[in-house]
Amino acid sequence: MIATPEEGEPLPEYVLCAANLAPHRPPSSEQDHAPFYHRLPADLGGGAIGQVPFHLHGFACEPPLTNDIDDRAFSNAAFCQLEGVDGATYPIQKIVLDFYGYVRVDDDAGTPDREESPVSVTLESDPGGYDFSRDLDITVRRGSTGDLSRGIIIRGRPDVLLPAAAYVIRPQLGEDHLLLCDGLFDTTPPTPVAAFEYNFKLWSDCNRNGVDDETDITLDPVLDIWPMDGLIDECHPELCEPDYNGDGNVDQDDVDDLLACIGGDCSRVLPQANPDFNHDGNVDQDDVSALINRVAGNGCPA
């Protein structure tokens, strides 16, 4: 059955599509040529249903693509496959994108490396910015029933803790590593999946206790004192805060005050300041040298 409802007509419960499908009206106001089904793909049971771009099936994804992004909010630790510490337990998270039909990654272009991915993952606030997909593991899900798959699995990696932010996943544009429809009757030329957007967000749990770091800091303000920047200090040892006397300037006075503190007089240094500027566990002349470097504009200690 090929269904092409007229403008204003309701869609049938589901439609099957074949090659040369005429434009029909999808459930939204968007015009498209793709098949739309009210039923989950698991109910339909088919894959090779025509030479059309497969759409993402929002409600079949895990978590489903609802209107509320809070339904797709994870801690960044859980999404990046990091276990809890100090006895904290929480479920490790992933995203499964589910399509109306079978999908594959274009393997004619070779094995994707970490720089190349079938989807892009960018900040919702900066769609043209850094593509976080290179920091993620993205694989086509293979079930026990064969080589064909409708799903791709997206999850973080323990070596890169993604920042707390709202993200959007889209199919990668360009010629290489396209996300393609699979199991079609006719595979020349290959048919990319239809454009889609799947959004999700991460909240920060950098200390991996299963609690939002904002809540941690509210309950225990000592966690964020040096620098006081809304981030739990122990998670960011690479940050070097140079304003030791807290007057808002970074200058020779800070060097002098740290030097005095190392000599035993910490009266001019902020009480919350950590005099171990280079984080090597010792408070000594090396910290002063590193601070001089920083004040001179030469960056943070290695």
By CB under 5 A, name the binding residues for Ca ion.
Answer: 205, 207, 209, 211, 213, 216, 224, 229, 231, 233, 243, 245, 247, 249, 254, 276, 278, 280, 282, 287
Of 178 and 262, CB closest to Ca ion: 262
Nearer to Ca ion, 16 or 211 (CB): 211
Q: Which residue in this structure is represented by tokens 């006075």?
A: 253
Cβ distance to Ca ion smaller for residue 98 or 216: 216
Q: What are phi and psi of 135, to 5 degrees?
A: -100, 10
Give the pair of three-digit tokens for residue 102. 């079978």
Burial class (CB in 10 A: 0-12, 13-18, 19+), 299: exposed
Smallest separation (angstroms) from Ca ion to the CB of 240? 11
Beta carbon of residue 289, minimum distance to Ca ion (angstroms, whole number): 10
131 or 224: CB nearest Ca ion = 224
Nearer to Ca ion, 56 or 273 (CB): 273
Query: Closer to Ca ion at the Cβ: 83 or 229?
Result: 229
- CA dist 224 and 192 (Å) reads 47
Give the whole-angstrom CA distance, residue 181 versus residue 2.
20
Residue 224 CB, nearest approach to Ca ion (Å): 4
The C-alpha atoms of residue 289 and residue 19 are separated, in whole angstroms, by 71
Query: Does the bond joining 189 to the residue before it have cis omega, within 30 degrees of 0?
Result: yes
Q: How far is the CB of 219 from Ca ion (least distance, A)?
A: 10
Distance of closest approach, residue 270 Cβ to Ca ion, in angstroms: 9
Please say whether the beta carbons of 202 and 75 come within 8 A: yes
CB of 206 to Ca ion, least distance (A): 6
Q: Which long-range contacts (CB under 8 A, 24 or more apart) does 22-29 make?
A: none
Number of neighbouring beta carbons within 10 Å of residue 48: 14
Count CA atoms closer than 13 A to 289's CA, side-chain side. 5
- C-beta closer to Ca ion: residue 187 or 282: 282
Give the nearest distance from C-beta 211 to Ca ion in angstroms: 4
List, as one string, the DSSP characters of 234-270: GG-TT-----TT-SS--SHHHHHHHHHHHTT--TTS-
**Contact predicate 244/261, CB 8 Å:** yes
